[in-house]
Amino acid sequence: MRKGKILATAVAFAAVLAGSSALAGNLGVAADAALPSGSFNDGYDTGFGIHAIFKLPVTPLVTITGDGGWTGFGGKGDISNINVWNVTGGGTVNLLPLGLGAEYGYFTEVKDWSLVPYASFGFSKLDLALRYKATGDAKWWELRVGVRF
């Protein structure tokens, strides 16, 4: 069942990419600092990650978004480090230059699906975002800085 959801999410994301004739400026890379919250903070230190990002404006007010990437967290004490891979897709409502949105996707290691609400600020090709990821017991805030090319 989970493999089917992962496949469906990946196919939908790929279809958006393949269907766009104007990818220039919509793809990019981002780095993030991930701050564990709640009980997740008891076992893990601040994490860091790298992501591929996608933004396709549909109208001046609506943008289709996607994110695929890795975030690693160092374990505290005897707890082992973890590496979380994710693939998410969703949309943003743009109140220029501020954007409010959400994505839904799958997170490895924690093996869970999650809604990822976020606020973003875009200027030219620069993208700054504050995102909240809550996957089961693993919850963290992510401050992401990206550039589209």
Please report, in tens digits, the pLDDT of each residue of the chain (149 residues total): 555 555 556 555 555 555 555 566 689 999 999 999 999 999 999 999 999 999 999 999 999 999 999 999 999 999 999 999 999 999 999 997 899 999 999 999 888 999 999 999 988 889 999 999 998 889 999 999 999 88
For residue 124, the model assigns a pLDDT of 81
Residue 23 is predicted with a pLDDT of: 60
What pTM did the predictor assign?
0.81
Tell me what pLDDT residue 110 has: 85
- The reported pLDDT for the residue numbered 24 is 63
Amino acid, res. 39: S
Amino acid (1-letter code) at residue 135: T
pLDDT for residue 136: 83
What residue type is assigned to position 128 of the chain?
Answer: L
The predicted structure's pLDDT at residue 149: 86
Q: CA-CA distance, 80 to 74, in Å (whole number)?
A: 7
Per-residue pLDDT, 12: 58
